[in-house]
Amino acid sequence: MTNSGIEIHKGLNGVYFDRSDSCFIDGGIGKLLYRGYDIHDLAEKSTFEEVVYLLLYGKLPTIPELSAFDNDLRSNRELPSGVLDVIEAVKNAHPMDVLRTAVSALSAFDEDVDDNSTEAIIRKGIRLTAQAPTIVASHHRIRNGKSPVKPNSRLNHAGNFLNMLLDKEPTAEESRILDVDFILHAEHGSNASAFAARVTASTVSDLHSAVVTGIGTLKGPLHGGAAEAVQKMAEAVGTPENAAAYVKNILDNKGRIMGFGHRVYKAEDPRARHLAERSESLGAERGEPHWFQILTGIQEAMKPYQSRGIYVNVDFFAGSIYYLLGIPEDIFVPIFALGRVPGWALNVIEQSSNNMLIRPLTEYTGPFDVEYVPIEDRES
């Protein structure tokens, strides 16, 4: 509270701005539900395609519904050649910047771009979910002087992405690891990027613009950028024995340990355990168990912070998994975005279906009624 009596909510911390029936988070006990379904059930029993259907339509699909929906996703993976040209032109940028730019370019080729009906947002959401992996994979090929690998309609969403990115058909286990990763990243309430997407949608802009906003917001290390930072940290730590000293040094210098802490979760981030399990098993299988050991060493060193509500978050183990799958570090954040596209579409549907312009206030603390001095009379 300031002298004016205005209460400031920095970072909108703890502020409710709307109601939603799509995502429930209880950060005190580490509970996450998509449309009422527990994230643990979805991660263990579902597929990304099924979860996207659940998010967009509000119910789990029947077998024929899922089959038609999956066909829709598979048949929308190709990019217009104009978008591939744009990717070529910006190929030296960070993959997240390329993704943002290419999604923006896709709007020029989408016949529904200005249709903000729920049906059109769902159609566009499906197309963007299907096209975004092709952007990331094609860019990686193009920047390495290679032709993009064509989408393969025989492969599921996650498997096709890995195939296009690495030009190698993944095993069923590799596909499933990324499939689960996409499920865990698909939706997360009014997180920073979804809120930003809602702000864009609230002006009655369009889905492509909202997703571009979301990608730009996700990029930062306090949000989606942490997985890349965690892997860099694991490399810098080098061996499990170094973890405690490394953590102490960062914390003594008032730094932050990436992959720890969350605005909402003050207990376990329920998404993290699924990635921890896979980080451990994949590392053991690939003969590289030290990544998981380094990460658990860091986790051990951070134990005193649990009393302050600081636990590992979804990004902590994700980087090691991507690394073990052979994915370059600068593609870690784009992978988060590929999972989150349906969540952004869902937030735009919710915002648009009961819209009010999002326009908060800042309390003015500057001077009043300052005399205007012509430029030639100003003192240097």
The footprint of ligand CMC (CB under 6 A) covers 11, 188, 191, 222-224, 226, 256-263, 310, 313-315
Minimum separation from the CB atom of position 143 to ligand CMC (A): 26
Cβ neighbours around 209 below 10 Å, total: 18
Cβ distance to ligand CMC smaller for residue 155 or 215 = 215
Minimum separation from the CB atom of position 29 to ligand CMC (A): 17
Minimum separation from the CB atom of position 261 to ligand CMC (A): 2
Cβ distance to ligand CMC smaller for residue 170 or 270 = 270
Rounded to whole angstroms, the Cα distance separating 236 from 225 reads 17
Minimum separation from the CB atom of position 224 to ligand CMC (A): 6
**Cα 76-81-84 angle, rounded to 5 deg:** 95
What phi and psi, each to the nearest 5 degrees, are found at residue 6? Answer: -80, 130
How is the beta sheet containing 23-26 ordered, strand by strand?
23-26, 31-34, 37-38
Whether 248 and 254 have beta carbons less than 8 Å apart is answered as no
Would you tell me the crossing angle of helices 172-185 and 332-353 to the nearest 10 degrees?
40
Minimum separation from the CB atom of position 313 to ligand CMC (A): 4
Minimum separation from the CB atom of position 281 to ligand CMC (A): 23
DSSP labels, 136-148? HHHHHHHHTT-PP
Q: Which candidate in 181, 262, 269, 274 is catalytic?
A: 262
Cβ distance to ligand CMC smaller for residue 170 or 224 = 224
User: 223 an active-site residue?
Assistant: yes
Cβ distance to ligand CMC smaller for residue 201 or 314 = 314
Whether 32 and 25 have beta carbons less than 8 Å apart is answered as yes
DSSP labels, 264-305? S-SS--TTHHHHHHHHHHHHHHTT-THHHHHHHHHHHHTGGG
Whether 158 and 121 have beta carbons less than 8 Å apart is answered as no
Cβ distance to ligand CMC smaller for residue 161 or 316 = 316
Q: Which candidate in 40, 94, 223, 290 is catalytic?
A: 223
Q: Which candidate in 315, 330, 369, 377 is catalytic?
A: 315
Residue of minimal Cβ distance to ligand CMC: 261
Whether 257 and 233 have beta carbons less than 8 Å apart is answered as yes
Whether 123 and 112 have beta carbons less than 8 Å apart is answered as yes
User: 262 an active-site residue?
Assistant: yes
- Give Dmax (Cα) for the chain: 76
Lookup: tokens for 284: 């053991």
User: 188 an active-site residue?
Assistant: no
Rounded to whole angstroms, the Cα distance separating 178 from 323 reads 12
Cβ distance to ligand CMC smaller for residue 91 or 232 = 232
Minimum separation from the CB atom of position 221 to ligand CMC (A): 6
Alpha helices in 147-266 (DSSP H): 157-166, 172-185, 192-202, 207-218, 226-237, 243-252
Cβ distance to ligand CMC smaller for residue 69 or 323 = 323
Minimum separation from the CB atom of position 302 to ligand CMC (A): 7
Whether 260 and 308 have beta carbons less than 8 Å apart is answered as no
Cβ distance to ligand CMC smaller for residue 220 or 289 = 220
Catalytic residues: 223, 262, 315
